[in-house]
Chains A and B, each alone.
Chain A
Amino acid sequence: MFVCRTCRQTVQSATYVQWPSRACVTAGRGSFEQRRGVHNTRVQCQSLRTRLVVLQNKTNLDVSLTKGAGISTSSSLQGSAEENDQKFQRPMAQTTIDEEEVKKFSNLAELWWDEAGEFEALHSMNELRVPLIRDALVNQRQQESEGTVRPSLPLEGFQILDVGSGGGILSEPLARLGALVVGVDASEENIKIAQAHVMHDPKVARNIKYIQATVEDLVGTEAEKFDAVVTSEVVEHVADVPTFVTACCQLVKPGGSIFLTTLNKTYLSYALGVVVAENLLRLVSPGTHDWNKFISPQDLQYILDQNDFSTRLLHGMMYNPLMKRWSWIKNTSVNYAIHAVKAT
């Protein structure tokens, strides 16, 4: 089974890919290319269920490829793959959640929600991205009408789709500010983790629904339904960015907003985002990021343009690992955020 090392999830979508380890990238070009080939083939099944089966077959193939690649560090790689296998492989078909399950996901939720743990940088990024989304939406509404904003619930009345919601680190604050949030994630595990966490906070739980799905699944029924689509730190994990972003765009109402944060495709982002963050500082587990999936703001803006969106804001973001704080900067060569608005 194919498992994301950061998010501890299983693969369930054609656009959703997380390489198990960067070790295979550096160790064997051949295997890397092959792997990419496998995953870039868009699977054209209509039903999600068939798609899953196809993918499961493919991922099995994938693991065997990795194992057969003759990598010097293969023992550790295999070890972790097997470990992940045991830990995360569960029967796919489930009708109810039993107590054991709930407990297990609460434990995993602790990992996602440990503010000083592996996802620390995502937690502290909220200090930038929540105000960015809040202020943009509130301004937009104030331009349209002269309604008063409740200071504690400024996002009341907005419907927001959080794509790749993970453990809900960004969905929860948006819901707490009054928005109705739908969090979708390709990983069933993450969806359960997010649910297990939010259920303890009834005020927030009222405003959130987490759904295991991919954006492409939603386009059929939910096109132009959302005031805003947010997809933060997801694009760099996606196999087919144009398809993914186009689907996100289709879900936004005319005049609505899209917010993206991701990593740029520059040598600096490789140095800082992959080498330093993963291997030297161990801010995130090695293998979290595949530089080849990073995308430049220009390329991203081009896709947004194609979908009738105009960019309102493009900002760089910088993480200070000592202070454990993010700040806005001009330079977009490592991390950046984009806000774009759909034509009416």
Chain B
Amino acid sequence: MAMSLSLLFRRCCPKNRQALHRLFSTASTSESSDDADIVISGGGMVGASMACALAYSDSFADKRIVLLEAAPDRGDFHLPKRYSNRTCALSPSTAGLLSSFGAWEEIEMMRSQPVRRMQVWDSCSDSMIAFSQEDMTEPLAWIVENDVILGAIMRRLRQAPNPVDIRFETSAKSFVIPHVSESWEEKSKHPWVKVELGGEKSIYTRLLVGADGSKSAVRAAAKLHTVKWNYEQTAVVATLRLAEAIDNNVAWQRFLPTGPIALLPLSEEFSSLVWTTTPEDAKHLLKLPEESFVDAVNDAYWHERDKNALADKAVDGFSQLLNNIMPGGTAMKQLPPTVTGVEEKSRAAFPLELMHASHYVRPRVALIGDAAHRLHPLAGQGVNLGFGDVECLTRILEQAVAGGSDLGSLNHLLTYETKRQRHNLPVVATIDGLQRLYSTDFTPLVVARSLGLTAVNSLTMFKNLIIQRATA
């Protein structure tokens, strides 16, 4: 080849030889600078699993991947005795993704609690809906502590066959994004993204993945707009002790006029609380002595003060009607467990907002996880959407590699955006709709939602569809 090429050079374009030589020598000097195929900014659950998915994929065997995480290295994760108050409900498809790089097996070796049934009911009426896979063999979800998820992913990441360059306590000072950043037009015009790390240090990357959470710096640098809804609501989380050891595998969610309260199983004796309420109420709940807090939780699950006679009557009549049409359709309402204690210092509060980026990609930039969308925790979907992003982007980048495309090429990034927005947007909109529907005690709405829940509960087919969507 070398022989025939030099011949070509001499024969056809003697004048270009030097020019070519110059071009190629420039090319080889830039190689010594820090170049990467993919830089992932943010090593939370979503960013770390993106790195892991790439690190275990054959397609990326010879690719250079860099993960930047602002927080310090916590070393190998050791499972503490105490349960953490930050948990997630992981869907079966998330379990599938985590299992593809061995992190799910790590989680199972540590701890996780399956949810086989989910009961959702309303404090204003008797309507309720219960979800379960038909034979209760396949869990609907697993409740896993955030630390356990991240610990498992990081452990697998460190053992990965294609090593990822993990840089802790590192966050980009700025990004120079082609066609977007002003400094790009003025200075470099380099076709890749420049990740400036401060001092003289920087990385040029073919693709920048923003996994840096809801306040994403990548999103800001790429000038990707967001739509936000502020609910003036706060989520209170805590780890709760149950009255007795039970076969704890039901998620209990009750809609109160102030917002939903959810009890998620952690073990036979513990459950995790996510109570969404007004900011004032949240402040009050955090200050309460432990005993009164436990009373407040039990009261929230059991009280009948909000009952709306009209709604109740409507539901009764409607249930009977449905039963006549579809006998056996309505599942029985079960009673939630009684709470007897709250783990010390496990109470915390988070303000709630819903945020969605109108675009997830730019040439050479893609957003995943909370950087692209942040959900109300009401459906326990938040991180699952992020893991879905990881799965989708990984598949699309694998295809790009197989087709010899530039990893940062807009062509396939747009496919990622279209696919994920088609999936994520309805979830975002449904959850926003549910939230609005349930934060009222205005009678017509209460009747409407009660009838809605009751009808859904008996429509087995429709319910299965919801389960498929929520677990897919």
Please classify how large the interface on chain A is, using the bins under 10, 10 to 19, 20 to 34, 35 or more.
Answer: 35 or more
A172 at the interface (CB under 8 A from B): yes
- Of B20-28, B42-50, B244-252, the one contacting chain A is B20-28
For the complex, give the distance between the alpha carbons of A191 and B23 in Å. Answer: 12
A127 to B400, CA, bound (A): 9
**Of A97, A177, A195, which is within 8 A of B404 by CB?**
A177
Residues of A near B26 (CB, < 8 A) are 199
Of A67-75, A216-224, A294-302, the segment with at least 4 beta carbons within 8 Å of chain B is A216-224
User: Known: A93-B15, A151-B58. Is A126-B8 also a contact (CB below 8 A)?
Assistant: no
A153 touches B8 (CB 8 A): no
A123 within 8 A of B: yes
Chain A residues near B401: list those with CB within 8 A.
152
Give the Cβ gap from A216 to chain B, nearest Cβ, in Å. Answer: 11
A172 to chain B, nearest CB (A): 7
User: Nearest CB to that of B399 among chain A residues?
Assistant: A127
B27 touches A115 (CB 8 A): no
Contact A95–B19 (Cβ < 8 Å): yes
**CB-CB < 8 A to B23: which residues of A?**
97, 195-196, 199
Cβ contact of A213, chosen from B13, B19, B63, B206, cutoff 8 A: B13
Q: Which of B7, B12, B31, B35 has the most CB of A within 10 A?
A: B12
The answer to whether B11 touches A200, judged by C-beta atoms less than 8 angstroms apart, is no
Cα distance A123–B404 in the bound complex, in angstroms: 12
Interface mask (A241-279 → B, CB under 8 Å = 1, otherwise 0): 000000000000000000000000000000000000000
Chain A residue contacts of B224, Cβ below 8 A: none
- Which B residues are in CB contact (< 8 Å) with A103? 189
Known contacts: A172-B404, A195-B23, A200-B192. The answer to whether A217 contacts B28 by CB under 8 A is no
The reply to whether the CB of B16 lies closer than 8 angstroms to some CB of chain A is yes
Looking at chain B's contact residues, the main secondary structure is: helix
Question: Among the listed B58, B402, B411, which residue makes an inter-chain contact with A123, where contact means beta carbons less than 8 Å apart?
Answer: B411
Q: Are B12 and A211 in contact (CB under 8 A)?
A: yes
Residues of B within 8 A of A293 (CB): none
Complex Cα distance, B183 from A278, in Å, reads 36
The chain B residue with its CB closest to the CB of A225 is B4
Measured CB to CB, the nearest residue on chain A to B189 is A106
Give complex CA distance A210, B13 in Å. 11
The answer, yes or no, to whether B403 is at the interface (CB within 8 Å) is: yes
In the complex, residue of chain B having the shortest beta-carbon distance to the beta carbon of A130 = B403
Q: Is the CB of A96 within 8 A of B403?
A: no
Chain A residues near B190 (CB-CB < 8 A): 200
A209 at the interface (CB under 8 A from B): yes
Contacts of A153 in B (CB 8 A): 62
Enumerate chain B residues within 8 angstroms of A150, measured Cβ to Cβ. Answer: 61
| B16-A212 in contact (CB<8A) | yes
Complex Cα–Cα for A175 and B404 (A): 8
Return the CB mask of A48-78 against B: 1 if under 8 Å, else 0. Answer: 1000000000000000000000000000000
Which residues on A sit within 8 Å (CB–CB) of B19?
A: 94-97, 192
Q: Does B1 contact A (CB under 8 A)?
A: yes
Give every chain B residue within 8 A of A199 (Cβ-Cβ).
23-24, 26-27, 30
Instruction: Knowing A97-B22, A152-B58 are in contact, say whether A182-B8 is a contact too (CB < 8 A).
Output: yes
Judge whether A174 is part of the interface by a CB distance below 8 angstroms.
Answer: yes
Q: For chain B, residues 354 to 385, give those with C-beta under 8 angstroms from any C-beta of chain A.
A: 363
In the bound complex, residues from chain B placing their C-beta under 8 Å from that of A177 are 404
A123 and B406 alpha carbons, distance in the complex (Å): 11
Complex CA–CA separation, A41 to B223 (angstroms): 55
Contact (Cβ within 8 A) B406 A172: yes
Question: A48: which B residues are within 8 A, CB to CB?
Answer: 12
A202 touches B61 (CB 8 A): no
Expressed in whole angstroms, the Cα–Cα distance for A21 and B27 within the complex equals: 37
B7 to chain A minimum Cβ distance, whole angstroms, is 5
B5:A209 contact, CB within 8 angstroms:
yes
Bound-complex Cα distance A23 to B229 (A): 55
Chain B residues within an 8 Å CB radius of A200: 27, 30, 190-192
Q: A131-B403, A200-B30, A212-B16 are in contact. List 9 more A-B contacts (CB 8 A).
A: A103-B189, A127-B411, A134-B402, A153-B62, A174-B404, A176-B404, A200-B192, A202-B31, A210-B20
Residues in chain B within 8 A of chain A (CB atoms):
1, 4-5, 7-9, 11-13, 15-16, 18-20, 22-24, 26-28, 30-31, 35, 58-63, 189-192, 206, 363, 401-406, 409-411
Q: Considering the complex of A and B, which 9 residue pairs feature the smallest CB-CB distances, nearest first?
A: A173-B404, A202-B31, A213-B12, A176-B404, A205-B27, A177-B404, A199-B27, A97-B19, A151-B58
